[in-house]
Homo-oligomer: A and B are copies of this chain.
């Protein structure tokens, strides 16, 4: 194996909880600075005028070792004094934000209002919180995901949190995405990566808002290094969130094949859970390499060993893909 493969530069496309857990393992398995995380910001929303970035913050807290592990987001032991007071003052309070969250949202909103880029703000925050990788919002633009449901079009957090993803989804809109550029940092992270990994996140809600940015899908398709996805499914179902129901509601194929379809033309391989091993043949028939492993990430140690496994496998894919491309 080449020296490059031993210490690869890895770029992870990620949503919130699943992305954060994969990021933890990759960060532990790689040299400091070798991991760049491109995070979804389609879920971003303003609450009380403050800019909230749920996926960025979940990744931040997780990598900083501060996350509330039981719920997968928020800060462990965080208090809710601000939110309780807002409720007393008559403000809506369906989005559970802790006091540490509020501080981060205040800080981010304040710097954004002063003209700073979200990328630079999160870079400073990540440094302050001791992260050893780069945490990049997919864009500095505003690209809110909106959910067209049987009850009308809802903003993402309205649908996801306030309505607990109950209204059946007809279609998703990534508003402004096709005319909004990913940042220079994101373009570089994809262009310079030895391996691109798509985290076990919801492909429709977490990864597609990244891929939908102007030129990003093409940039990814044109890369000459491997790209692999980790299926977020365990035994054909989402560990968390509305993914499997959404795929069905939207008339998309389910299972690992459905996940691979979302990334058609982009990925060289897919990592699926052993409980979904029955799908291996169908995936291979579509020309996709498959790694079957125990993908359910519960403890951080599990995340690191999964990361090492995926990196080693993708490293071998690397040579194959390059040879194929150069023939």
Binding site for B on A (CB under 8 A): 48-50, 78-79, 81-86, 88-91, 99-100, 102-104, 106-107, 109-110, 113-114, 124-125, 128
Contacts and interface: CB of A to CB of B under 8 A. Distances in A.
A106 B102 contact: yes
24 contacts: A48-B106, A48-B109, A48-B110, A49-B106, A49-B113, A49-B114, A79-B81, A79-B99, A81-B99, A81-B100, A81-B103, A82-B99, A82-B103, A83-B103, A85-B99, A85-B103, A85-B104, A86-B107, A88-B128, A89-B104, A89-B107, A89-B128, A90-B124, A91-B107
Contacts of A50: 106, 110
Given A81-B100, A82-B82, A103-B85, A49 B109 contact: yes
A90 B128 contact: yes
Nearest to A82: B103
A82 to B, nearest CB: 4
B107 A48 contact: yes
A49 B78 CA distance: 23
B102 A82 contact: yes
A90 B124 CA distance: 9
A251 B83 CA distance: 48
Contacts of A100: 81-82, 85
A128 B87 CA distance: 10
Given A48-B106, A50-B106, 7 more contacts: A79-B81, A82-B99, A83-B103, A85-B100, A86-B103, A91-B110, A102-B106
Contacts of A79: 79, 81, 99
Contacts of A128: 88-90
Contacts of A104: 85, 89
Nearest to A88: B128
